[in-house]
């Protein structure tokens, strides 16, 4: 699931139930990672986000325990609350979930150099947001196909 954006933009919708050492890097580009569409399995999950002259936005369900660490150099790391329709939430509408007691725990290491990493807590009213009307997630096939083989070959160069 890891992604890298170089002078481009990527919108990534998570379809996995486990996130182990996933990495998102934006250099002169942007990546939006949406974790609200697929339930994460109970337990610990890890993500790292790096933005250099770019931006990484990670949308996390509000009921997931969250621990964020990392740092910035001439950059910014933000944390905000939104509804599914991207409306900002007031502090009265928020329900903070304790990391230690949450069944699903996500650790994010965020590093921004002349860029931005933004974590957006999305209050959905249920564990996952409904899929967008008319846009079902693509079916995952067991056959890797020629594209994935080519991607692996290029990545190993």
Contact (CB, 8 A) for 33 and 93: no
DSSP state, residue 91:
G
Contact (CB, 8 A) for 66 and 19: no
Residue 29: which of 2, 15, 11, 47 has the closest Cα? Answer: 11
- Model pLDDT, residue 47: 95
CA 136 – CA 15 distance, rounded (Å): 11
Integer-rounded Cα Rg, in Å, for the chain is 16
- Model pLDDT, residue 40: 93
- Could you report the per-residue pLDDT of 36-63, keeping only the tens digit for each? 999 999 999 999 999 999 999 999 998 8
Q: What is the CA angle 112-117-119, rounded to 5?
A: 150
Q: Who wins on pLDDT, 129 or 12?
A: 12
Residue 79: which of 36, 119, 122 has the closest Cα? Answer: 119
Contact (CB, 8 A) for 114 and 154: no
Q: Who wins on pLDDT, 115 or 154?
A: 115
What region does 93 belong to: left with phi over 0, alpha with psi -120 to 50, or beta?
A: alpha
- Model pLDDT, residue 78: 86
**Full-model pTM:** 0.74
CA 8 – CA 67 distance, rounded (Å): 28
Is the per-residue pLDDT at 134 higher than 90? no
CA 62 – CA 60 distance, rounded (Å): 6
- Model pLDDT, residue 92: 65
- Could you report the per-residue pLDDT of 70-125, keeping only the tens digit for each? 999 999 888 888 877 778 877 666 666 788 889 999 999 999 999 999 999 888 76
- Model pLDDT, residue 88: 82
Q: Who wins on pLDDT, 68 or 147?
A: 68
């Amino acid at each position: 699931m890891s992604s890298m954006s170089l002078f481009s933009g990527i919108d990534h919708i998570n379809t996995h139930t486990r996130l182990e050492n996933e990495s998102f890097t934006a250099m002169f580009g942007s990546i939006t990672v949406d974790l609200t569409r697929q339930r994460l399995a109970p337990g610990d999950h890890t993500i790292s986000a790096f933005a250099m002259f770019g931006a990484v936005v990670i949308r996390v369900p509000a009921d997931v325990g969250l621990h964020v660490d990392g740092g910035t150099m001439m950059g910014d790391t933000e944390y905000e609350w939104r509804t599914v329709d991207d409306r900002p939430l007031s502090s009265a509408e928020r329900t903070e979930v304790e990391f230690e007691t949450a069944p699903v725990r996500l650790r994010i290491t965020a590093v921004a150099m002349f860029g931005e990493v933004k974590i957006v807590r999305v209050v959905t009213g249920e564990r996952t947001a409904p899929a967008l009307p008319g846009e079902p997630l693509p079916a995952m096939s067991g056959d890797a196909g020629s594209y994935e083989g080519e991607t692996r070959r290029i990545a190993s160069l």
